[in-house]
A and B are shown apart, each in its own frame.
Chain A
């Protein structure tokens, strides 16, 4: 007998899961590579090549990269990542609801219980 489930997303057909996870890995990989720049790569030339480059007139760049710039680029990256992932999450939900008739019965039953309809509204 079909019954509602607490986590309907687990019971979606495999193609939805594969699509979402593929997008997530793509986005995360791009942000991870960018993160390695601020965490590792730009600190390699900095102590040698950029030591005599002065910001704001007097601030050595190699120092400032580690003491200030890296931190705030790191903060910014989290908020941008969050914004991008919100978009991906919403796309995942929209896709699943658009294919309402193709969803397994237990998923539809759970969604109805949660007040979600094919048009996407949740009470």
Chain B
């Protein structure tokens, strides 16, 4: 296999320099300085990679010159996708919810399989530049379709970005000893600089490095703990069943429902099998409609590479996602080991003593007997990954390295979100509606400035989120709902747009509006105002599961409105054919535009 030259030119020297400086810091100044350097140095490494791989044209800024190899694009997609929530919180959610948390695992992975079937190759073959550009072109050049797509893009991306910066701020505060409010601006510094340096080209190569960092950190800690627990039989992913059985025996003895008991805990405000399945399906449908994920199909050379890239993306994502339930089992097992012990003894356990003041672990001796009952111990989900090295007494450098992994996850997702929003302003609004003749160098400069402006705006929102816990709660909830909004708006438009030629501009616009009008009130009523959930077939449906209803409403409205109005003309039919058919050949220099630079003439 040919190794891409950027790997030699950019990645290897950056990573080697980073590791070397950590070793020097550890040898000369000890663990504390080395830990700090691990966190700060990782950001400097990303900036170095972004600077060396920077692009100077709109083609590099917006679509990474469409030359990213499928494996690299797959890893970058995985980093783009796996946020602070995946890295820090998902294992925690499974530890708390047991079987009822598993819709997160299948929902956030199997969407990629249908992404490869129904979306990625067609998005690439469309030769458009952005998702709103695709929506408008499919709608026959109908401007309002692009504007609505940009609004949907902002709704789904801005809250998501804020949450990433909150996650990054928390990592900064834990490992550098600075307030999290200040930490979010540290994240801004790193993210803004390297996103501004070269748009998607810089971001892609940085995300590739960030994927390597985050997966080594995540798997490294898990595999070390697995060897201490003794579940390498023959590999920990096959051997942690014993741990589950031992844990469940303790739970039954303590009078709790066993961890793998189905439908015992609510997900999105409701419990039950239908809600479990609808929640999983909605997360899949939402995944494939998120603009920063759709965007990744533009950066590869061909439709075939786009399909292959999705396969690699799910392979890389799967490595982390199939490890999360193992993390959850190991953490829950560690917690269950504290049950029945005197509270004074539990409080003196080093890792418990470390995390009690942070509020991530809470002990409440409700019956006043001085003995810790199972119900008297609670923990925050984030401790499962962040606290794992301490729980099992791993070497000092593992904990900061896990934090560096969490930071990589937060920053890599933040970059993708930042760029799709900036592109939404510069390409989809300014270039399309305000100044179509803007010179390329001005557009590139505008993009760079806007990256910094939006970084500051998102950091300020993150600052507010950390200041006010109620605001933070809504941000966290909105992140989950971003999937509902994506599934209710983009997913049906893109899939129907390819597979049904009769879909027209009015169908696209009214479908998206109807989908959002179905999703938003329910999410607000049940999620914010605590209204009781509605039932389908006698089973309650939570806010996430409700997104499936909004998806279907979008589909039905799109079809009905399209059938009641005029079909699109010849140009749109040609465009759909272009999306559907494989390239016969790469035709250069037709009408002054090469295939490689497709879209320049648009």
Determine the distance from Cα of A62 to Cα of B98 in the docked complex, in whole angstroms: 12
Interface string of B482-515 (1 = CB under 8 A from A): 0000000000000000010000000000000000
Query: Which DSSP category, helix, strand, loop or mixed, fits chain A's interface?
Result: helix
A102 interfacial by beta-carbon distance below 8 Å:
no
Determine the distance from Cα of A43 to Cα of B281 in the docked complex, in whole angstroms: 12
Determine the distance from Cα of A82 to Cα of B595 in the docked complex, in whole angstroms: 23
Determine the distance from Cα of A96 to Cα of B584 in the docked complex, in whole angstroms: 8
Q: Is the CB of A47 within 8 A of B314?
A: no
Residue in contact with A71 in the complex, picked from B99, B239, B310, B318, CB distance below 8 Å: B318
Residue in contact with A31 in the complex, picked from B117, B322, B325, B595, CB distance below 8 Å: B117
Residues of B within 8 A of A82 (CB): 116, 304, 307-308, 311
Query: Which DSSP category, helix, strand, loop or mixed, fits chain B's interface?
Result: helix
Q: Is the CB of A9 within 8 A of B577?
A: yes
Q: Is the CB of B113 within 8 A of A40?
A: no
How many B residues touch A, CB cutoff 8 Å?
63
Within 8 A of B (CB), among A59-113: 59-60, 62-64, 66-68, 70-72, 74-75, 77-79, 81-82, 85-86, 89, 92-93, 96, 107, 110-111, 113
Residues of B within 8 A of A85 (CB): 121, 304, 307
Residues of B within 8 A of A86 (CB): 304
Q: Is the CB of A70 within 8 A of B110?
A: yes
Q: Is the CB of B273 within 8 A of A47?
A: yes
Q: Is the CB of A20 within 8 A of B110?
A: no
Determine the distance from Cα of A31 to Cα of B310 in the docked complex, in whole angstroms: 15
Residues of A within 8 A of B307 (CB): 78, 81-82, 85
Q: Is the CB of B325 within 8 A of A111?
A: no
> How near does chain B come to A2, taking the closest CB pair, in angstroms?
13
Q: Is the CB of B241 within 8 A of A62?
A: no
Residues of A within 8 A of B311 (CB): 75, 78-79, 82
Residues of B within 8 A of A81 (CB): 116-117, 307
Given known A-B contacts A47-B99, A85-B307, A92 and B581 have beta carbons under 8 A apart: yes
Interface string of A33-55 (1 = CB under 8 A from B): 00100111001100110010011
Given known A-B contacts A39-B281, A40-B281, A58 and B114 have beta carbons under 8 A apart: no
User: Which B residue sits closest to A74, measured CB to CB?
Assistant: B113
Within 8 A of A (CB), among B382-432: none
Q: Is the CB of A28 within 8 A of B118?
A: yes
Residues of B within 8 A of A89 (CB): 304, 582
Given known A-B contacts A32-B117, A62-B262, A63-B244, A24 and B281 have beta carbons under 8 A apart: no
Residue in contact with B241 in the complex, picked from A9, A24, A55, A122, CB distance below 8 Å: A55
Determine the distance from Cα of A89 to Cα of B581 in the docked complex, in whole angstroms: 8
Residues of B within 8 A of A4 (CB): 587, 590
Stretch at the interface among B26-34, B101-109, B338-346, B555-563: B101-109
Residue in contact with A24 in the complex, picked from B280, B580, B586, CB distance below 8 Å: B580
Q: Chain A interface: which size bin?
A: 35 or more
Determine the distance from Cα of A25 to Cα of B588 in the docked complex, in whole angstroms: 30
Residues of A within 8 A of B574 (CB): 10
Residues of B within 8 A of A68 (CB): 237, 322, 325
Residues of B within 8 A of A31 (CB): 117
Residues of A within 8 A of B118 (CB): 28, 32
Determine the distance from Cα of A56 to Cα of B307 in the docked complex, in whole angstroms: 34
Given known A-B contacts A20-B581, A28-B117, A114 and B588 have beta carbons under 8 A apart: yes
Interface string of B572-586 (1 = CB under 8 A from A): 001001101111111
B362 interfacial by beta-carbon distance below 8 Å:
no
Residue in contact with A67 in the complex, picked from B105, B121, B593, CB distance below 8 Å: B105
Q: Is the CB of B241 within 8 A of A59?
A: yes
B240 interfacial by beta-carbon distance below 8 Å:
yes
Determine the distance from Cα of A79 to Cα of B117 in the docked complex, in whole angstroms: 11
Determine the distance from Cα of A89 to Cα of B113 in the docked complex, in whole angstroms: 19
Determine the distance from Cα of A63 to Cα of B280 in the docked complex, in whole angstroms: 14
Residue in contact with B277 in the complex, picked from A8, A40, A70, CB distance below 8 Å: A40
Q: Is the CB of B322 within 8 A of A72?
A: yes
B50 interfacial by beta-carbon distance below 8 Å:
no
> How near does chain B come to A85, taking the closest CB pair, in angstroms?
7
Given known A-B contacts A10-B581, A28-B117, A92-B582, A114 and B587 have beta carbons under 8 A apart: yes
Q: Is the CB of B99 within 8 A of A62?
A: yes
> How near does chain B come to A10, taking the closest CB pair, in angstroms?
5
Q: Is the CB of A77 within 8 A of B102?
A: no
Q: Is the CB of A58 within 8 A of B116?
A: no
> How near does chain B come to A117, taking the closest CB pair, in angstroms?
10
Within 8 A of B (CB), among A14-33: 17, 20-21, 24-25, 28, 31-32
B245 interfacial by beta-carbon distance below 8 Å:
yes
Q: Is the CB of A7 within 8 A of B578?
A: yes
User: Which B residue sits closest to A21, measured CB to CB?
Assistant: B580
Determine the distance from Cα of A115 to Cα of B588 in the docked complex, in whole angstroms: 10
Residues of A within 8 A of B99 (CB): 47, 62-63, 66
B315 interfacial by beta-carbon distance below 8 Å:
yes
Q: Is the CB of B106 within 8 A of A71?
A: yes
Determine the distance from Cα of A75 to Cα of B577 in the docked complex, in whole angstroms: 28
Determine the distance from Cα of A17 to Cα of B318 in the docked complex, in whole angstroms: 36
Given known A-B contacts A43-B277, A57-B242, A59-B240, A113 and B588 have beta carbons under 8 A apart: yes
Report 28 cross-chain contacts, Cβ distance below 8 Å, ordered by A residue.
A6-B591, A6-B598, A7-B578, A7-B583, A8-B587, A9-B577, A17-B580, A21-B580, A32-B117, A35-B110, A39-B110, A39-B113, A48-B262, A56-B233, A56-B241, A59-B244, A60-B241, A62-B262, A66-B99, A66-B103, A66-B106, A71-B314, A79-B308, A82-B311, A85-B307, A93-B582, A114-B587, A116-B585
**Closest 8 A/B residue pairs (Cβ):** A59-B241, A58-B241, A47-B262, A114-B585, A78-B311, A89-B582, A66-B102, A67-B325
Residues of B participating in the A interface, judged by any CB pair closer than 8 Å: 99, 102-103, 105-106, 109-110, 112-114, 116-118, 121, 127, 233, 237-242, 244-245, 260, 262-263, 273, 276-277, 280-281, 284, 304, 307-308, 310-311, 314-315, 318, 321-322, 325, 499, 574, 577-578, 580-591, 593, 595, 598
9 new A-B contacts, CB < 8 A, other than A35-B114, A54-B241, are A9-B577, A9-B584, A21-B580, A39-B284, A43-B280, A56-B239, A58-B245, A71-B318, A110-B584
